Amino acid sequence: MLINASGPKAALVLLAVGALTTATPAVAQTVATDNVRQSQDGTKAMAAAAKTIDGMFKGSSAYDANAFKAAAETIGSHSGERLSSLFEKSIAAPGSKASVNIEAERQAFDKLAADLSVYASRLSAAADRNPDVLSPQMQMRGGDVMTGGPLARKAGVRDVSSMSAEHAFHLMLQTCTSCHAKFRVRAE
Ligand code: HEC
Per-residue pLDDT of 53-100, as tens digits, reads 999 999 999 999 999 999 999 999 999 999 998 887 655 567 778 887
The number of CA neighbours under 13 Å toward the Cβ of 70 is: 8
Share of the chain above pLDDT 70, in %: 70
**pLDDT bucket at 142, cuts 50 / 70 / 90:** confident
Q: Give how far Cα 3 sits from Cα of 10, 95, 120, Å.
A: 10, 16, 40
Answer with the residue of higher pLDDT: 20 or 35.
35
Distance from residue 55's CA to the centre of ligand 1 (Å): 20
Q: In this structure, which residue's CA is closest to atom 9 in ligand 1?
A: 180
Amino acid at 5: A
Task: Return the pLDDT at 1.
Answer: 40
Name every protein residue with a CB atom under 6 angstroms from any ligand 1 atom: 36, 39-40, 43-44, 46-47, 50, 75, 83, 87, 96-98, 109, 112-113, 116, 172, 175-176, 179-180, 183-184
Task: Return the pLDDT at 31.
Answer: 39
**pLDDT bucket at 41, cuts 50 / 70 / 90:** confident
Distance from residue 132's CA to the centre of ligand 1 (Å): 31
How many CB atoms lie under 10 A from the CB of residue 173?
13
Average pLDDT for residues 128-153, to the nearest whole number?
A: 76
Answer with the residue of higher pLDDT: 94 or 134.
134
Tell which one of 124, 178, 179 to mutate to probe ligand 1, the residue whose CB is within 8 A of the most ligand atoms: 179
Burial of 100 (0-12, 13-18, 19+ CB in 10 A): middle
Task: Return the pLDDT at 62.
Answer: 97
Distance from residue 179's CA to the centre of ligand 1 (Å): 8
First vs last Cα of the chain: how many Å apart?
Answer: 18
Task: Return the pLDDT at 179.
Answer: 95
Answer with the residue of higher pLDDT: 142 or 74.
74
**pLDDT bucket at 27, cuts 50 / 70 / 90:** very low
